[in-house]
Amino acid sequence: MPVWLTDDQYRTLASVCDRLIPPSESGPGAAAAGVPDYIDGLLGAFTFDPPRIWAGGPTSGRHGGRSAFGTFHRLTDLDELAWRMRIEGSRGLPEREFNGPVIGLQQLYREGLEALGEDFIRLDPDEQVGRLRSLPDFTDLVYGHTCEGMYGAPEYGGNRDQAGWRAIGFDGDVQPRGWTDQEVSDP
Amino acid sequence: MTVDAIIVGSGPGGATVADVLTTAGWTVTIIEKGRNHLLDPEDLRRPAFDYSNDEIKFLNRHFLGPDPLVEPRTFRTSEDDGDRLHVGEVNSVSSTVGGGGTHADGKVPRFRPEDFRVHSLFGPQPGAAVADWPLDYDELEPYYAEVERAIGVAGTDGANPFAAPRSGPFPMPSGAPMYGATRSAAAAQRLGYHPYPAPTAANSVPYDGRPACNNCGFCAYFGCPTHAKGDPIAMLQHAMATGRAELLTETFVSRVRMEGRRATGVDVIGPDGVRRSLSGGHVVIAAGAIETPRLLLLSGVDHDLVGRYLMTHFQTITAGSMPFRTYAERGRAVTHVHDDMIVGDDASRAAAAEAGLPWIRGGLVEHGGAGLPIMEAKHLPWGEQHPRLMADSPIRAHLWAFIMQGEDLPYAGNRVDLDPTVKDARGFPVARVTYRPGRHELVASKHYGPRLVEILKEMGAGWTAFTTSPGTGNAASPEAVPESRHNMGTVRMGTDPATSVVDPSGRLHQADNVVIADSSVFVTSAGYGPTLTLAALAARAAHLMV
């Protein structure tokens, strides 16, 4: 269940993610790896308390230590202002428009997914690629977030079961284990 | 209540001043505009554990601040560009408790004696305000040693043939060399260069109650999850332990209050948005070489040189793809450097002469890789080939790079001033950076870049690349904004009030009790990261206050 996107938007986004990082012999594509949930979680970050902006520290528990990434940081008023501007846009609110209007990610995703068309999920992959190439700004935006969701910490909603890291042989967050001097100097 | 000193900024400069002053019995209030993720809020003598191996939080979501939406800066390459070309992130050093010290990978070289006397030893450069510092290396050496002991610096005595003389050994031996660096250092040596283990403020053994670094690899750009990096948590912990330091966070200093030649205190806006005034016997400004001149300008300090001579280190970046794994994700981000391209040789003198320049100086060369997967993914294309490229990993697993932190000369046109219209979320004019490299920087980069590529080829590189930051092409491109965070020189130190803003002790010529304690005071930029030198200058300034 998406937290911010509609079900239709979520399905379109999942198709987009799989064109950007498709399934392959090295692992699942971005959709199965949870990237749409990462993006939906960012767009709907303020439906959570604390908002899901910054995961906790110092360890995730994947290499020892406690599982602290899942406890997100509280935001200060200034942090909240910045992230609401980034996600929601300035919406005509004077306290968000001290340097003029700001378009938020929610609007960019709403309009971008609409521009891709309701039929996007039914197109064949080549046609989907063509349509993405016709919207380069939106595609660049989604691709940046897709990289974060695919190869970032799973606590943000993507990289499900560390699928992104497994596909590329990356060990992820390694604290508190770290690396031995021998693994560093003479691997 | 009036404290003995108000310190604006909690980075390496402010933290060092706080440590020295509180040890001498002074009471201080440290004011930091960013958040506290460094010290335990329940007991500020102890560390917090908010930092983590999290590429999203640190590299993609501004965890250490500043967030460019609420605290932007603006940029242009010259007045010819109009009011500005870019609004957003410009030379941003972390805005958080610990300042720039929290984000860096802790390379802390000293300058060398000649770096303080460039004008006397090499002579002037056309268009640049090259000058000697009003103090020399010998005067600063005891303070270098003091801050090296305070933060805990690991290094190898005698490994760098060009090193400045030291009064004592490094506090700790060097940590484990990165595998890729052992290969690049060997290649550089075969070509006649002199690489050595980088002096690094990351513990190689337990030191001052903090653990040895465990090589996690999330180093540059990340706060240290274990606090093996001592800069500047060590000085802040020391200051807090005296019981004479108070730390105000999320508190913005909007003005230094002046009465004639004396500062009486500062105006601040707290986390609740409430404005108030704090009084102090001295005001120490250590907000970094962009925010410090901004605060002086917001305070009405009237001197044409405030903000001028901004230097950032013109970066020459060369990279090569290696036929072997470089393991750049393991270890302290950069474990080896070389000084040869600062020192120069017959070839660099010939290159200068050919370009019609009296001399050129390059900078410290850092040997390093790029071990982070989101960063790699964003540099690779999307589509069918993406998974295969990511698995082959030309960048994360196979890239090796040299970054030369080239010495920027001081030019009056490179400067910080107040943007005429862009404001921060609190309503104050933001800092505007006007910067472009001069001919010296371009000639030095063009001379040394191909030599760095030669080392990469000697190391076994297939393809290689050579670029600079800022880019030298289109001024309107975001690449015209320098990547360097080594901001220096905007509140110049000197003996003559007509050609400098602060005196040799860091005190404003115009005020008896305002001291600048960060890299703003640098006269020239050397080719070395500024942290240790600014901390040593801050220690000296603080000792001269008490």
ipTM of the complex: 0.98
| Whether B425 and A54 lie within 8 Å, measured CB to CB | no
- Facing residue for B393 by CB, picked from A19, A102, A168: A168
pLDDT (0 to 100) of residue A27 = 96
| Whether B374 and A148 lie within 8 Å, measured CB to CB | yes
d(CA B275, CA A12): 48
| Whether B60 and A26 lie within 8 Å, measured CB to CB | no
Delimit the domains of chain A by residue range.
7-185
User: Which pLDDT tens digit goes with each residue over B193-215?
Assistant: 999 999 999 999 999 999 999 99
| Whether B327 and A187 lie within 8 Å, measured CB to CB | yes
β B399-406/B363-368 pair status: antiparallel
From first CA to last CA, the distance across chain B in angstroms is 20
Q: B193: exposed, middle or buried (C-beta count within 10 Å: 0-12, 13-18, 19+)? A: middle
Task: Tell me how crowded residue B50 is: count the other CB atoms within 10 A of its CB.
Answer: 21
Q: Which residues in chain B are closer than 8 Å to A150, comparing Cβ atoms?
A: 377
By C-alpha distance, the chain A residue nearest B74 is A99
The C-alpha angle with vertex A118 and arms to A113 and A119, in degrees rounded to 5, equals: 120
Residue A36 C-alpha, separation from nearest chain B C-alpha, in angstroms: 16
Q: Which residues in chain B are closer than 8 Å to A56, comparing Cβ atoms?
A: 50, 52
Query: Which SS3 state, helix, strand or coil, does residue A78 take?
Result: helix
d(CA B137, CA B157): 18
User: Measured between alpha carbons, how far is residue A157 from residues A39, B133, B386 in Å?
Assistant: 8, 53, 21
d(CA B126, CA B140): 29
- Comparing CA positions, the residue from B334, B375, B48, B378 lying closest to residue B219 is B334
pLDDT (0 to 100) of residue B183 = 98
| Whether B225 and A57 lie within 8 Å, measured CB to CB | yes
What's the gap between Cα B13 and its chain centre?
Answer: 11
- Look at residue A157 and tell me whether its pLDDT is greater than 90: yes
Query: Which phi and psi (to 5°) does residue B47 adopt?
Result: -75, 155
- Facing residue for A58 by CB, picked from B49, B177, B215: B49
Q: How much helix, strand and coil, in percent to the nearest 5, is found in chain A? A: 50, 5, 45
- Comparing CA positions, the residue from B521, B533, B95, B14 lying closest to residue B293 is B521
The answer for residues whose C-beta is within 8 angstroms of residue A132's C-beta and 6 or more apart is A16, A19, A20, A116, A139
What's the gap between Cα B501 and its chain centre?
Answer: 21
pLDDT (0 to 100) of residue B473 = 78
By C-alpha distance, the chain B residue nearest A175 is B216
DSSP classification of residue B60: I
Name which of A19, A21, A184, A186 to mutate to probe chain B: the one with the most chain B Cβ atoms within 10 A of its Cβ: A184
Whether B71 contacts B425, CB under 8 Å? yes
- Facing residue for A185 by CB, picked from B176, B272, B374: B176
pTM equals 0.98
Partner A contacted by B191 (CB < 8 A): no
- B19, B22, B27, B31: CA torsion to nearest 10: 10
Query: Helical H runs in A21-159?
Result: 35-43, 77-88, 105-116, 125-133, 136-151
Maximum Cα–Cα distance across chain A: 58
Residue A82 C-alpha, separation from nearest chain B C-alpha, in angstroms: 6
Query: Chain B 385-404, CB below 8 Å of chain A: which residues?
Result: 386-388, 390-391, 393, 396-397
The dihedral sign for the CA sequence B251, B253, B258, B263: positive
d(CA A184, CA B175): 10
Task: Tell me the average pLDDT of chain B.
Answer: 97
The C-alpha angle with vertex B329 and arms to B326 and B333, in degrees rounded to 5, equals: 95
Whether B533 contacts B503, CB under 8 Å? no
The dihedral sign for the CA sequence B433, B436, B441, B447: positive
| Whether A174 and B373 lie within 8 Å, measured CB to CB | no
User: Which pLDDT tens digit goes with each residue over A54-106?
Assistant: 999 999 999 999 999 999 999 999 999 999 999 999 999 999 999 999 999 99
Q: Where would I find the beta strands (DSSP E) of B356-427?
A: 363-368, 399-406, 415-423
Q: Which residues in chain B are closer than 8 Å to A17, comparing Cβ atoms?
A: none
pLDDT (0 to 100) of residue B463 = 95
Query: Which phi and psi (to 5°) does residue B314 adopt?
Result: -75, 120
d(CA A166, CA A177): 18
A:B CB pairs within 8 Å: 186
Partner A contacted by B178 (CB < 8 A): yes
DSSP classification of residue B502: B
From first CA to last CA, the distance across chain A in angstroms is 44
The C-alpha angle with vertex B384 and arms to B381 and B387, in degrees rounded to 5, equals: 75
| Helices and strands per DSSP (H, E), number in chain B | 14, 17
Identity at B272, one-letter amino acid code: D
**pLDDT tens, residue order, chain B (546 aa):** 799 999 999 999 999 999 999 999 999 999 999 999 999 999 999 999 999 999 999 999 999 999 999 999 999 999 999 999 999 999 999 999 999 998 888 999 999 999 999 999 999 999 999 999 999 999 999 999 999 999 999 999 999 999 999 999 999 999 999 999 999 999 999 999 999 999 999 999 999 999 999 999 999 889 999 999 999 999 999 999 999 999 999 999 999 999 999 999 999 999 999 999 999 999 999 999 999 999 999 999 989 999 999 999 999 999 999 999 999 999 998 999 999 999 999 999 999 999 999 999 999 999 999 889 999 999 999 999 999 999 999 999 999 999 999 999 999 999 999 999 999 999 999 999 999 999 999 999 999 999 999 999 999 999 999 999 999 877 778 888 999 999 999 999 999 999 999 999 999 999 999 999 999 999 999 999 999 999 999 999 999 999
Query: Which SS3 state, helix, strand or coil, does residue A35 take?
Result: helix
> Tokens in use for B309?
């001579």
Query: Helical H runs in B91-136?
Result: 100-103, 118-122
| Whether B387 and A24 lie within 8 Å, measured CB to CB | yes
Partner A contacted by B46 (CB < 8 A): no
Q: B283: exposed, middle or buried (C-beta count within 10 Å: 0-12, 13-18, 19+)? A: buried
What chain B holds in terms of domains, given with CATH numbers, is 3-545 (3.50.50.60)
- B364, B370, B374, B380: CA torsion to nearest 10: 100
